[in-house]
Structure 1
Amino acid sequence: MGLSIFDLGEDIFVNHILPKLEREDVNRLLLLNHPHLNALLSSNLASKYLYLISFNDKPIERTHTNWINLYKAREQAKFYDWGSNNGLRLGYSISSAPEANTHRRFFKKEVVKPTYLRCFHKSPIRQISSNGFSFQILLANGDLYVTGSSWNNHSSSPPGPRDSEDHFPSNIINRNLHIKFNSFVNRRSFSDFPRVIPVPGVFGLGGFRRPNIRFDHQLGAAQPSDAPHFPTLEHEIVTKKELENLEDDEIFVVSDDEDNSTVEPRFINKMKIPRNRLNSHIKFVQVSGGHFHFIALDNENNIWSWDIDNIDNQHIGIKLNFIDENGVNILDNNNPDTKKNYIKSIKAGWNLSACYIANIGLAIWNKREGLKTDKWDINTSVKTNFMIIPNTLNIIDYAFGEGFLIYINSKGKLYRLNLEWPSDGEFINENVAYELTPFNDIIKSKKSKYVRVFGNFLRFGAITDSDNVYLSDKLRMSLDSLMDYNSKSSYNEFRFYYDDYDDYDSDDDDDDKNNENDEDKSFKNSSNSLIRKFVDIIPELQKKGCHSIASGDHHNLALFDNGDLVSWGKELESCGCLGLGSHLEIKKKAEDIIRAKNKNKIATAPDQTQIKDSELNRYFELETRSIVVKRPMKIDLEEGYRVLAITSSGWHSGALIAKIGS
């Protein structure tokens, strides 16, 4: 008698069976409820594999990583967001957010703490992303949703069509007339929504319906049992019967009560592509947001782009093709010469888009042709104005800012390439990538290398495999600046200066000494501070297990292995993007940090508990209309809850949060 799957050992099952299965196949196996099979699927190795194929946020693997708990938590993670709600980008009205999570300053109310967006119960969330005016939420089932009334703020910029416009068939336009409602909302510039909400219905001679709205204080307080409980305000509630004629992508709704008889509006739209019976299996597997655009990758190696303000097609993705100067589509799966050129990853930069292609390298584009066909189906695509970046065949990671690329080469070193083009959109490709010597001098002892890089707008950062985080910006890493650096420094003279804060916590310093690797020891004891002019080394991020950084226009988030989340930077107009609370709450956080650092002095002199303004200004500063947090501060979560993924752009931030097992 031959062996069955129930007789296999863990190594054979994980290494040879699991790689051939989709997530849906694994779920079917779990339904068998076989003890041996359940044990195999719940092992640490199997949980690691399932995590990596199910979700796009990849933790930096540590020796202590508990993949079983991590996978279970990630499956149950919920989406939270905070910050500016202009254009309803948070996916809900300000009045429906919990009162404890909002703050009013200068006659404007904003969401200043992580707030649960009660949606997406049908499938786990595969990935979260954001661009300048919305969030993109990709579900594990392949559906893609975008928050707000306009993901591009009704602006047009690269990498959309420049020389022509998209011309959609009339039947596509007619099916999307309801989008005009969203345009109406955005152009009124409401960060909050009127108490009587015009809900889009089926347009016709009668226009749109305006259902009656009722308020229910008790109903709005209910929250799922697996989400942290926060006190809530009253919510706008409409009955399901009133919305039964709406399409599921016109307005996203979620039940707030057990009998499922009432629903609360959510301002989220489902993104579309042409579908028929032959391509119903197509689903999105990756998403990435830029400034005024975002892109998505499907499970058949195709990239779709949302990149232009056209009220008729704001929800509809444009399929891209990559035809080179010889007329060959470099991603043609039917061509034996190109079928192995699959897309490993996609990233939308500030004003361009990119994909990393196996056997080719990094392809970038900043414009595409317009859609000019009256026959639009799944096979319709438009040509991109792409360029292959030299020497990127085996890069480790990459990120974009405004007009520049940062990447890690195969040896773990950091490089930058300036990306320039005139108004006609043709790339100036005479530029060559240059080494970021201040970054690479830090790891020149060869005891460490860079493993991740992050960037947005003007700033970027990199993480090493020795658990250090280094940050800089576009100006300080310009070619002219590096020429100045190279003229003043050599590696033999250069030393790593750990931080420029006089009041660095001595307890933390002792911990760092115990955890130092050769890289740190070889640099730390010099008075040479040249590196401080080029690289930011923030003490709160070093040797703490930081594995993700996300930046908006003026603020930053950092996520750690233990699920802690910190933020720092500037909140323009007190928009709440830091997630730390009101300015008074942030000030108290700063005072608590200072008191903790000065605990020995306070213990010996209790009357000296008054914090000096000079001390406070090292952490927190209140400007006329903005809040500046100068050192990373922890965002508070309810006990037992941890952050698993983050995203940030513009003036808003988001995270996946779940309850973690012991």
Structure 2
Amino acid sequence: MNDSQDQKLSTGYDNLSPDIVQATLPFLSPGDIRHLSHTNKYFHKLLNFDSSETLWHVLYNKAFGTPYGNDEPFVAKGSGELKTCSESIMIQRYPDQNWHDRYKIRAEEAKLYTWGCFKHARLGYTATSNENLKEANMNSLGGRVKFGVNTPTAVPWNPKDEQHADNDNDDDAIIQISSGGFSFQILTKSGKLYSTGSTFTGGHRGPGPIAGEHDFDPLKAAIRELEESFHHTHQGTGGQINTTGAIGISPPSLGPHQNLYEPLEEMEAKTTETVPGNEHIRRMFARNCFEMFTSETLSFNVDQEKLNSIKFIAVVSGRSHFLAMDEERDLYSWDSPDSEFGVKLRFDGLPSKNTNPIVKIGCGWDLNCAFIYKIGLVVWNTRKALQKGQLSSAVDYKIIPNTGDVTGPGKVVDFACFQGDCIIYITNEGEKIWRYYRGVVHDLELPLEGQLSKLSSCISSLVLFTDQSCYTLKVNDGNVDIEDLTKILLDDPDDRIISLSSGDYHTVALTCKGVLYSWGLESQLCGCLGLGSPHNVINDHNIGRWESLRNMRVVKPQKIKLDNNYTCVAVCAGGWQTGALIIKE
């Protein structure tokens, strides 16, 4: 392109405000942005990967903004600079750094820390598997049995290929963490999804098939056929096991130590991907990645390229289930103890995702909710069981009326999911909350300071964020207890809570300075508050009290202190455990 051509292309473009250009950048891929930067001198300067503040701010937001899950509302309140919790914290903690440097710090230095109950290795490690864990940071009654971790502890996490460890590659950076009742879910920038521990369900059913129904499982069908074939052959022919046909594996010889399940075990080994050096964090896959679920005849082949074909952009967790959305705006549900593979969901009767994409997803105790563009809030507790040959499951959904506005005062800004059939949401109006319960919608005004901007929830706790303060109240069986409305106050008057998450009985909060606070009940010495040993909390610091032999309560928010200065950029809590992404200084 010569100068005259470039000058023609620049005409009109270089008069555009950077704000207008920046508003379109979140909808472009990094490749598209590079192409745009080569269009003319104006865009090349504005979108230069080496020097553009505008570009790196957008790239930071695209990578770490987590706009599709319930970590952030649909639209951010406040100034244009403070768009998300993570951005707010990075600006506050690194005011002299540019956005390129903030991006690198967030991608390379934010590490996963967990604390709380050890059961099922839900923390991503056990009492003996984590070299970062100190004896003083584990709660016990003086014996060998350890109940939990009482201090934020780094999780062994090194998913990078050791052969390429020196490469400047941030694809394995953790962009989102969420927590259910029995595990953590972890999402990386490359779109890989992980879960901690041995179970995410705890043996409980989530919002999957109705009681008594089960998804068709080709593995169980193959096992039955293998066993029946073995029994028939052993009793009748005494020669070979006929496993040809539907199963599609070669008949093994019937030796005295023949392992009938060898093909299944080989396939399981190929699909069991854990973080290198940590067997307690495993990668989660969707059913659609495997030939055994997609082909008419059962195949145990595993295509590694197909395993990586689905890239997730958001994950949210309920008590015993979790939900993930991929870059194509398709949803996958892990909602049953019967299967470890996510089920693709479909919404029969609704317009195509090409015209009405899913914008945001959320999980409650035993339900899911999605906001679909121009449709509104869509809620479900169950889905159809998958039959043989089916690749997606139809959702038994309901649409909350009058929630489909995309502009104006009625546009939904945020929503929170509870137990049973209860959703609470707020709109651009910002003056009241709306409660959906068993098909009926009511509005409710509350005595709050400022305009409502964000919600979060767990079981029966609702957290309300305004542009000035943070409040909690109780929601039981769809009933909002106004008398329970409580304003959360911190000891530091110059700091404020911008993110909050709750487990069964405890709460953890993140402030704009990147500091963690926790309070509530620490059950059975599980350590979920992260404030240290109960002896120190109660006897030395006088900030807690015993409620029974193993239960400790801390009433007011208390700052979590670590051995080094730190900046926390994300937090989650669930069950009897807590997690955070922390930058150590």
Query: TM-score by structure 2 length?
Result: 0.72
Cross-structure match for 1:649? 574
SS of the residue 2:402 aligns to? coil
Provide closer, same or farther for how the CA distance between residues 104 and 61 of structure 1 changes in structure 2, counting only shifts above 3 A.
farther
Cross-structure match for 1:15? 22
Task: Report the Cα offset of residue 72 of structure 1.
Answer: 3.0
Name the CA distance, whole Å, in 2 between partners of 1:344 and 1:75: 25
Instruction: Tell me whether 1:134 sits opposite 2:151 in the alignment.
Output: no
Give yes or no for contact 1:458–1:474 (8 Å, CA) kept in 2. yes
Name the CA distance, whole Å, in 2 between partners of 1:160 and 1:341: 25
Letter in 2 for 1:75: A
Letter in 1 for 2:318: G
Choose the corresponding residue for 2:413, options 396, 403, 417.
396
Task: Report the Cα offset of residue 157 of structure 1.
Answer: 4.0
Instruction: Tell me whether 1:164 sits opposite 2:220 in the alignment.
Output: no
Give yes or no for contact 2:419–2:477 (8 Å, CA) kept in 1. no
Cross-structure match for 1:464? 466
Task: Report the Cα offset of residue 565 of structure 1.
Answer: 0.4
Name the CA distance, whole Å, in 1 between partners of 2:157 and 2:271: 13
Name the CA distance, whole Å, in 1 between partners of 2:126 and 2:549: 26
Choose the corresponding residue for 1:450, options 446, 449, 452.
452
Choose the corresponding residue for 1:124, options 169, 173, 192.
173
Task: Report the Cα offset of residue 38 of structure 1.
Answer: 8.3
Letter in 1 for 2:460: L
Cross-structure match for 2:398? 387
Name the CA distance, whole Å, in 1 between partners of 2:19 and 2:78: 22
Give yes or no for contact 1:112–1:575 (8 Å, CA) kept in 2. yes
Choose the corresponding residue for 2:61, options 52, 69, 90.
52
Paired residues for 1:339-354 under 5 Å = 339-354=354-369
Name the CA distance, whole Å, in 2 between partners of 1:281 and 1:103: 42
Give yes or no for contact 2:206–2:367 (8 Å, CA) kept in 1. no
Q: What whole-Å deviation, never above 9, does each CA across 1:159-190 have from its counterpart, x for those lacking one? A: 4434621112349977xx9xxxxxxxxxxxxx
Letter in 2 for 1:442: L
Task: Report the Cα offset of residue 249 of structure 1.
Answer: 4.9
Cross-structure match for 2:442? 433
Cross-structure match for 2:152? 114
Count of aligned pairs? 475
Name the CA distance, whole Å, in 2 between partners of 1:173 and 1:41: 55
Provide closer, same or farther for how the CA distance between residues 637 and 309 of structure 1 changes in structure 2, counting only shifts above 3 A.
same
SS of the residue 2:112 aligns to? strand
Give yes or no for contact 1:103–1:112 (8 Å, CA) kept in 2. yes
Choose the corresponding residue for 1:72, options 101, 104, 112.
104
Give yes or no for contact 2:416–2:455 (8 Å, CA) kept in 1. yes
Instruction: Tell me whether 1:409 sits opposite 2:424 in the alignment.
Output: no
Paired residues for 1:613-652 under 5 Å = 619-621=544-546, 623-652=548-577
Cross-structure match for 1:358? 373
Name the CA distance, whole Å, in 1 between partners of 2:18 and 2:48: 13
Name the CA distance, whole Å, in 2 between partners of 1:204 and 1:632: 60
Provide closer, same or farther for how the CA distance between residues 349 and 159 of structure 1 changes in structure 2, counting only shifts above 3 A.
farther
Give yes or no for contact 1:88–1:267 (8 Å, CA) kept in 2. no
Letter in 2 for 1:294: F
Name the CA distance, whole Å, in 1 between partners of 2:478 and 2:308: 47
Farther off after superposition, 245-254 or 152-161? 245-254
Name the CA distance, whole Å, in 2 between partners of 1:120 and 1:331: 42
SS of the residue 2:288 aligns to? coil
Letter in 2 for 1:105: L
Q: What whole-Å deviation, never above 9, does each CA across 1:138-166 have from its counterpart, x for those lacking one? A: 11111111111111011224344346211
Q: What whole-Å deviation, never above 9, does each CA across 1:525-553 have from its counterpart, x for those lacking one? A: xxxxxxxx331112218762311010000
Letter in 2 for 1:395: V
Letter in 1 for 2:357: Y
Letter in 2 for 1:454: S
SS of the residue 2:464 aligns to? strand
Provide closer, same or farther for how the CA distance between residues 280 and 652 of structure 1 changes in structure 2, counting only shifts above 3 A.
closer
Higher relative CO (Cα under 8 Å, sequence separation at least 6) belongs to 2
Cross-structure match for 1:271? 285
Name the CA distance, whole Å, in 2 between partners of 1:81 and 1:27: 38
Task: Report the Cα offset of residue 40 of structure 1.
Answer: 5.4
Q: Which runs of 5+ in 2 are unaligned?
A: 38-43, 83-87, 92-97, 161-171, 227-256, 290-302, 405-410
Q: What whole-Å deviation, never above 9, does each CA across 1:67-100 have from its counterpart, x for those lacking one? A: 7254333212211111012111112111133124
Provide closer, same or farther for how the CA distance between residues 173 and 457 of structure 1 changes in structure 2, counting only shifts above 3 A.
farther
Give yes or no for contact 2:45–2:52 (8 Å, CA) kept in 1. no
Name the CA distance, whole Å, in 2 between partners of 1:297 and 1:284: 6
Give yes or no for contact 1:159–1:352 (8 Å, CA) kept in 2. no
Cross-structure match for 2:325? 297
Cross-structure match for 2:6? 3
Query: TM-score by structure 1 length?
Result: 0.64
Instruction: Tell me whether 1:96 sits opposite 2:129 in the alignment.
Output: yes
Name the CA distance, whole Å, in 2 between partners of 1:249 and 1:278: 11
Q: What whole-Å deviation, never above 9, does each CA across 1:436-479 have from its counterpart, x for those lacking one? A: x3x2x324xxxx2111111001111111112x011111149826
Task: Report the Cα offset of residue 381 of structure 1.
Answer: 1.0
Farther off after superposition, 74-83 or 12-21? 12-21
Instruction: Tell me whether 1:372 sits opposite 2:383 in the alignment.
Output: no
Task: Report the Cα offset of residue 292 of structure 1.
Answer: 1.1
Whichever structure has more strand as a proportion of its residues is 2
Letter in 1 for 2:426: I
Provide closer, same or farther for how the CA distance between residues 341 and 36 of structure 1 changes in structure 2, counting only shifts above 3 A.
closer
Choose the corresponding residue for 1:105, options 104, 123, 141.
141
Q: What whole-Å deviation, never above 9, does each CA across 1:210-264 have from its counterpart, x for those lacking one? A: xxxxxxxxxxxxxxxxxxxxxxxxxxxxxxxxxx99947525243xxxxxxxx45
Choose the corresponding residue for 1:252, options 262, 269, 274.
274
Name the CA distance, whole Å, in 1 between partners of 2:31 and 2:138: 39
Paired residues for 1:601-620 under 5 Å = 619-620=544-545
Letter in 1 for 2:140: R
Name the CA distance, whole Å, in 1 between partners of 2:355 and 2:158: 34
Provide closer, same or farther for how the CA distance between residues 363 and 13 of structure 1 changes in structure 2, counting only shifts above 3 A.
closer
Q: What whole-Å deviation, never above 9, does each CA across 1:594-645 have from its counterpart, x for those lacking one? A: xxxxxxxxxxxxxxxxxxxxxx6xx544532111111111111343421100
Give yes or no for contact 1:340–1:359 (8 Å, CA) kept in 2. no
Name the CA distance, whole Å, in 1 between partners of 2:188 and 2:394: 28
Name the CA distance, whole Å, in 2 between partners of 1:44 and 1:141: 23
Cross-structure match for 1:84? 117
Provide closer, same or farther for how the CA distance between residues 265 and 322 of structure 1 changes in structure 2, counting only shifts above 3 A.
closer
Letter in 2 for 1:50: L
Give yes or no for contact 2:460–2:474 (8 Å, CA) kept in 1. yes
SS of the residue 1:432 aligns to? strand
Cross-structure match for 1:490? none
Identical-residue share of aligned pairs (%)? 30
Paired residues for 1:418-567 under 5 Å = 419=437, 428-429=438-439, 431-435=440-444, 437=445, 439=446, 441-443=447-449, 448-466=450-468, 468-475=469-476, 478=479, 533-540=483-490, 544-567=495-518
Name the CA distance, whole Å, in 2 between partners of 1:543 and 1:442: 20
Instruction: Tell me whether 1:151 sits opposite 2:200 in the alignment.
Output: yes
